[in-house]
Structure 1
Amino acid sequence: MDNSKIKQHISQQFNQEMEELRNKVMMMGGLVEEQVDLATKAFMSYDMESADQVVLQDHQVDTLEKEIDHECTDIMARRQPAAYDLRMLIATIKIITDLERIGDEATRIARMVMRLEGTDYYQDKYYEIEHLLNLVKGMLNGALDAYARNDVEEVIAITAQDAKVDREYNSITRQLITQMMEDPRNITRALDMLWTARALERIGDHSCNVCEHVIYMVKGKDVRHLSREEMERTINSVR
């Protein structure tokens, strides 16, 4: 982690508290990334062990969210931070909410795999979803990296991937509708695929939200609901 941009305080204890907080967020982010990997592995390969692991880790993610939320509130009450420190705490609370929701989407995929246990039609490799999965994983990894490095330089490139995710999701949806119309026997598989694709699309959205919170933390600008061009101008206008 690049700590050069993190404000140092007279109180060494305050420095330590803020650093520990960042480390916990990164730990939570790592768990969520692993959940996404395991959930999609479970779905595409019918790996029940991976599905079970996703559900188990969801409890860890939920616990971390509550711990981090409590620590942010406690620091704000005791330290009465201002400027960057206050923005970091506010952004952190929002970031962990999005990370927890990403974990929920991964858990939703895993629980669907569990529901399908014992069915005899579950034979296909869900190849259509692989490109969407890689796009979303890249966005999540990039968003967490931006937070860890306190850097917004790559945020525009990360959020630009959201348009590709949306196009891929729409393409998958059209393909699945066609398959269902051509042969009713495809309906069950297509619906499972559709719900999984939707969960991945939502993970991409939450990754974009994390990027927006990082911009607020570093630059002090709220870029929610702005177009990518407006966001880029806002970032470049603040030094």
Structure 2
Amino acid sequence: MLKKYDNSVEQLKMEIGSLGMAVENAIDKTWKALESFDTALASEIYRGDDDIDKKVKECMRMDLNISMLQSPAASDWRSLMATLKILSDLERIADHCADICHYVMILKETGRPIAPPPGLKEMYGVMSSMVSDVLDFYQGSESSQAAFMKDKDDIVDIAFNTILGEIGSQMSKDPDNARQYIDYVLIVKYVERMADHANNIAEWIIYREKNEINI
């Protein structure tokens, strides 16, 4: 029975590793689509969100089966519950990639899309690094560093407010393109939310390791 349990947990970990790679790939391609207004790439990511959702649901099914059918110990149950929450955050991160790509296609339709506002690339880079880090932490690599994700999330929040101010300034100088600037407000908000979800994952990892909940 113990061997069956260990095998099930290891299989779940492998599936989440595959899911994590898919999410990281979506994040990377989303920026490329936004930076170049590549609608073909944006469409690929937008349509591919369904595949990620299916991966998430399959991992959730595996997690629940282990929790309900294999009688995990208290610490193992805590890990399985944290995994379920982490899967939900990963799904939302992928959803926001699709949301951003939706607006890439809208911006491209204008015929003369405005370039991303200053600072967005750096903000996106910090968020992307957060996701990569927490996925490593989930697998057990330097999980003690998970608490520092809050500092990176604060950096993203500061960038969010700065970029909103820049967008507002540009909009007042170029009111004819107000709709595009509003689209960028939504895009920047999605990036900020992605960082929040990455920080949530870090908090669930801390819960798994230390039985502390700060969310």
TM-score by length of 1: 0.84
5 Å matches for 1:126-205?
Answer: 126-149=117-140, 151-205=142-196
Question: What is the deviation of 1:69?
Answer: 1.2
Letter in 2 for 1:13: K
Question: What is the deviation of 1:154?
Answer: 1.1
Which residue of 99, 116, 119 corresponds with 2:110?
A: 119
Q: Is the 8 A contact 1:44 1:126 kept in 2?
A: no
Which residue of 78, 91, 108 corresponds with 1:87?
A: 78
Q: Write out per-residue CA displacement over residues 3-52 of structure 1, whole angstroms, 9 at most, x where no aligned residue.
A: xxxxxxx7222111101101111211111111111112111211122212
Question: What is the deviation of 1:160?
Answer: 0.7
125-134 or 56-65: bigger deviation: 125-134
Question: What is the deviation of 1:125?
Answer: 5.3
183-192 or 165-174: bigger deviation: 183-192
Q: Is the 8 A contact 1:150 1:214 kept in 2?
A: no
| 1:51 equivalent in alignment to 2:42 | yes
Letter in 2 for 1:137: S
Letter in 2 for 1:129: L
Pair 1:165–1:37, CA change in 2 (3 A): same
| 1:64 equivalent in alignment to 2:55 | yes
Separation in 1 of the partners of 2:184 and 2:152? Answer: 21
TM-score by length of 2: 0.93
| 1:207 equivalent in alignment to 2:198 | yes
Separation in 2 of the partners of 1:220 and 1:146? Answer: 16
Q: Is the 8 A contact 1:32 1:99 kept in 2?
A: yes
Pair 1:92–1:133, CA change in 2 (3 A): same
Separation in 1 of the partners of 2:94 and 2:71? Answer: 31
Superposition RMSD on alpha carbons, in Å? Answer: 1.6
What SS class does the counterpart of residue 149 from structure 1 fall into?
coil
Q: Is the 8 A contact 1:143 1:210 kept in 2?
A: yes
Q: Which segments of structure 1 move beyond 3 Å, counting only runs of 4 or more?
A: 125-128
Question: What is the deviation of 1:168?
Answer: 0.3
Separation in 2 of the partners of 1:165 and 1:117? Answer: 26
Which residue of 82, 91, 108 corresponds with 2:99?
A: 108
What SS class does the counterpart of residue 115 from structure 2 fall into?
coil
Q: Is the 8 A contact 2:147 2:203 kept in 1?
A: no
Separation in 2 of the partners of 1:96 and 1:24? Answer: 11
Q: Is the 8 A contact 1:95 1:210 kept in 2?
A: yes
